[in-house]
Structure 1
C-alpha cells in the first residue's frame, strides 16, 4: 500500500507539505494550514520530493528551515483523473478521504472528510 506524509515546514513561511508516494517520488502539494474536517484548503502543487521525506524530520538542506512530521500512514487511491483526485488516508491523525480539485495552473483546492466508520473499525 502506498504511503503519505504531512510535514510541518517552517520555511520560507509556515506551511504543511502533503506528500503522496508515487513510484520513486512523492507527489507534493503545499498547504497553508493542515487539513481540517470539512474545511476547504488551498493546495499549491510543488515539485516532486524524494521518498526519504516519508520518514524524515529535521533540517532541510540549503538553509531551508526544518520539517516536523504532522501525520503519516498509508493511503488508497479513490479517484485519479486529470484535475481531480481523492485518496483515502489511514493516518495517525487523519482517517478519511482527502479530495483535491485543480483550480488553475498549479493551484488546487482540497477538502478532508472523515471516515464515519474509522473509529469503530479501529476498535475491532
Structure 2
C-alpha cells in the first residue's frame, strides 16, 4: 500500500508564508504534495495549495529544509488506500497514527492550485484495522 506523511512546516518569518502542514501522498516515485493552511482535524476542512511533487525522502525525513526554507517535523505518517472519486477530487482512506479515516481533496474547476482539504475520522470504507508499521515510522534527521 502507498504511504503518506503530514509534515509540520515551520518557515522563517522572512519567507512570507506562515506555518502550514504538508500532506504528501506517495505516487510511484514522487510525493504528490499539498500545503494545508491548518492542522488537519476531524470533521473540519481547510484551504490547501497544490505544490510541486516532492522527493520520496520526505516520507522518513525531519529536520532543516535546504535553502533556508525552515524545518519540517513529522506530524503523522502511515499508509493510504485510494478510493473512487468524481470530478476534480482525490479521496483516500488514511491509516496513520493520528489520521484514521477518509480525506478528500477537492479542486474547484477554475481554481488552479487552490484546493479544499477535509477529513472525516473513522469513515473508512475498507474496514482495514491497524496503523502504521514500525518501518513507516523510521526517523532520519539532516537536511533535504
> Same fold judged by TM-score > 0.5?
yes
Whole-angstrom CA distance in 2 between matches of 1:38 and 1:107: 20
Asked if 1:6 corresponds to 2:13, the answer is no
How big is the alpha-carbon RMSD for the aligned residues of Structure 1 and Structure 2?
A: 1.5
Higher strand share: 1
Measure how far apart 1:80 and its partner are. Answer: 4.8
Q: What whole-Å deviation, never above 9, does each CA across 1:61-84 have from its counterpart, x for those lacking one?
A: 011110000000000001355511
Whole-angstrom CA distance in 2 between matches of 1:102 and 1:62: 30
Structure 1 gaps of 5+ residues are none
4+ residue stretches of structure 1 with deviation over 6 A? none
Residues 102 and 123, structure 2, Cα contact 8 Å, conserved in 1: no
What residue in structure 2 maps to residue 110 of structure 1? 117
Asked if 1:39 corresponds to 2:78, the answer is no
What residue in structure 2 maps to residue 54 of structure 1? 59
TM-score under structure 2 length normalisation: 0.78
Give the number of aligned pairs. 119
Structure 2 gaps of 5+ residues are 131-144
TM-score under structure 1 length normalisation: 0.90
What residue in structure 2 maps to residue 85 of structure 1? 90
